[in-house]
Amino acid sequence: MLKEMQDLHDLYLKVHATIHQMVDDLTDEQWVKKPADHFNNIASILEHTLLVERRFFAQLKGETPDIDARAPFLATSWDVAKIKSMWAENERLARDAFAHLTAQQLDEPGAKLGVGEVNKRQLAAYAIAHTAHHRGQIPLVKKLLGI
């Protein structure tokens, strides 16, 4: 793995580790409880994050996946065990996606995002930024739930 991608992968794992610390002691009921009707719960936030990661990791490999990352926010029930399993699987998917990239591929087009078109280097960084963004929502939800 290129040093640049190893550094990004290490950062990705560090962000994931902090999320693990925030949710490891929660019950399944706490994962799915919404602090209010118009708020997302922890399950929907994490499932959304995982689906976005999967889409970005596939795009890093040149694939065009059909993943509806908004679905968890529209759902009325969530499978916490499935989300936890996806979490572990995404860490493997990240390693695989980051490891296969060559220096030349990092400059190739990666995706069209809300911020505009990004190359694969930027897409890898954006995947981490997106996860870190949603990471910040978890303490707010926990505080509103009194956890």
Q: Rounded to two decimals, what is the model's pTM?
A: 0.95
Identify the burial level of 105 via C-beta atoms within 10 angstroms of its C-beta, where 0-12 means exposed, 13-18 middle and 19 or more buried: middle
The residues near 39 (Cβ < 8 Å, ≥ 6 apart) are 141, 144
Q: Where are the alpha helices (DSSP H) in 24-118?
A: 28-32, 42-60, 71-74, 80-99
Q: What is the pLDDT along the chain (147 residues), one digit of tens a residue?
A: 999 999 999 999 999 999 999 999 999 999 999 999 999 999 999 999 999 999 999 999 999 999 999 999 999 999 999 999 999 999 999 999 999 999 999 999 999 999 999 999 999 999 999 999 999 999 999 999 999
Quick one: CATH architecture of 3-145?
Up-down Bundle (1.20)
Domain limits, the chain: 3-145
Kind and range of the H or E run holding 12: helix 3-23
